[in-house]
């Protein structure tokens, strides 16, 4: 099973600042099948990035995914109030699919 | 609009059986994998397994194989998650989600792009 380790566990930032979230995999991700999700309280996760760097439909270009192999990152530029949430990384290249433990971006 | 609508909150006792559902609409149900994901409140996400409705191929996480059954009814465009004997540790929110595809054969996978609203399952004596 591929273990995904996210860092940091939480980030305290202000609107307008940028955030960089990291996710490290215990082994290489097949086909770069790697995604980032945003989750707000009481809601299901929302797909932000798939294939490590492709924005999902309707996701603003403030969200940028990067990386390959075992090291991945999500950068959120010009944070807006609605961006404060929990972010999860996921690999869907090898069974069992796995998620990181999450990074909370808070004000 | 592509949508997944899940059944409502369930409160059960240990040892009872349960089936929750996930109804798809707005897309061809037969040709997209549907996954189930567990979330214990305040905790992270766990992939439980998934089903391809056309052919009913299923994959399970080793953590959940033998504990749950994933099925689908193509005539109802609905996927199901079933327990035969619940435990208190099954208390969680369960999401269904569709695996997005970039081509008809889903050789290009695009993450879990459509999610149900979640079903809360509470198991308590």
At B22-48, the pLDDT tens digits run: 999 999 999 899 999 999 988 899 999
Residue B116 at interface with chain A, using a CB cutoff of 8 Å = yes
Mean local confidence (pLDDT), B8-32: 97
User: Which of B62, B99, B111 shows the shortest C-beta gap to A96?
Assistant: B62
pLDDT of residue A54: 97
Is B47's CB within 8 Å of A33's CB?
A: no
pLDDT of residue B108: 86
Q: Which residue has the tokens 């090291």?
A: A71
Alpha carbon B54 to its chain centroid, in Å, reads 16
Residue A96 at interface with chain B, using a CB cutoff of 8 Å = yes
For A32, phi and psi rounded to 5 degrees? 55, 35
Considering chain A, what is the average pLDDT of its residues? 96
Residue A99 at interface with chain B, using a CB cutoff of 8 Å = yes
Mean local confidence (pLDDT), B80-85: 98
**CA distance readout (Å), A73 to A14, B17, B98:** 20, 41, 24
Mean local confidence (pLDDT), B94-121: 92
Residues 7-66 of B with CB under 8 A from A: 35, 37, 44-47, 59, 61-63
Mean local confidence (pLDDT), B76-96: 97
Q: What is the distance in angstroms between the Cα of A91 and the nearest Cα belonging to chain B?
A: 9
CA B124, CA A69: separation in Å to the nearest integer?
Answer: 43
Residue B104 clears pLDDT 80, i.e. is over it: no
Task: Please tell me which residue, B108 or B5, carries the higher pLDDT value.
Answer: B5
- Whether A33 and A44 have beta carbons less than 8 Å apart is answered as no
Is B35's CB within 8 Å of A96's CB?
A: no
% of chain A exceeding 70 in pLDDT: 100
Residue B91 at interface with chain A, using a CB cutoff of 8 Å = no
Q: What is the distance in angstroms between the Cα of B59 and the nearest Cα belonging to chain A?
A: 8
- Whether B19 and B36 have beta carbons less than 8 Å apart is answered as no
In this prediction, residue B62 has a pLDDT band, given cuts at 50, 70 and 90, of: very high
Q: What is the distance in angstroms between the Cα of B57 and the nearest Cα belonging to chain A?
A: 14
Q: Find the residue in B nearest to A6 (Cα).
A: B44
Mean local confidence (pLDDT), B55-69: 94
The model's pLDDT over A14-58, given as tens digits with 9 standing for 90+, comes to: 999 999 999 999 999 999 999 999 999 999 999 999 999 999 999
Is B44's CB within 8 Å of A88's CB?
A: yes
């Amino acid at each position: 099973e591929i273990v995904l380790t996210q860092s940091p566990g939480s980030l305290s930032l202000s609107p307008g600042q940028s955030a960089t979230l990291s996710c490290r995999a215990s082994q290489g991700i097949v086909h770069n099948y790697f995604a980032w999700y945003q989750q707000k309280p009481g809601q299901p996760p929302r797909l932000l990035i798939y294939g490590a760097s492709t924005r999902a439909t309707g996701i603003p270009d403030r969200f940028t995914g990067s990386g390959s192999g075992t090291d991945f990152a999500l950068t959120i530029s010009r944070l807006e109030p609605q961006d404060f949430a929990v972010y999860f990384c996921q690999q869907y290249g090898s069974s069992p699919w796995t998620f990181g433990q999450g990074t909370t971006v808070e004000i | 609009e592509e949508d997944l609508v899940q059944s409502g909150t369930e409160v059960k006792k240990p040892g009872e059986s349960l089936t929750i559902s996930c109804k798809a609409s707005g897309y061809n149900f037969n040709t997209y994998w549907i996954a189930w994901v567990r979330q214990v409140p305040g905790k992270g996400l766990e992939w439980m397994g998934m089903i391809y409705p056309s052919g009913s191929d299923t994959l399970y996480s080793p953590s959940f194989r033998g504990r749950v059954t994933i099925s689908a009814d193509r005539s109802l465009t609905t996927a199901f998650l079933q327990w035969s004997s619940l435990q208190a540790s099954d208390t969680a929110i369960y999401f269904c989600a569709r695996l997005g595809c970039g081509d008809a054969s889903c050789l290009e996978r695009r993450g879990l792009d459509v999610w149900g609203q979640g079903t809360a399952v509470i198991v308590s004596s």
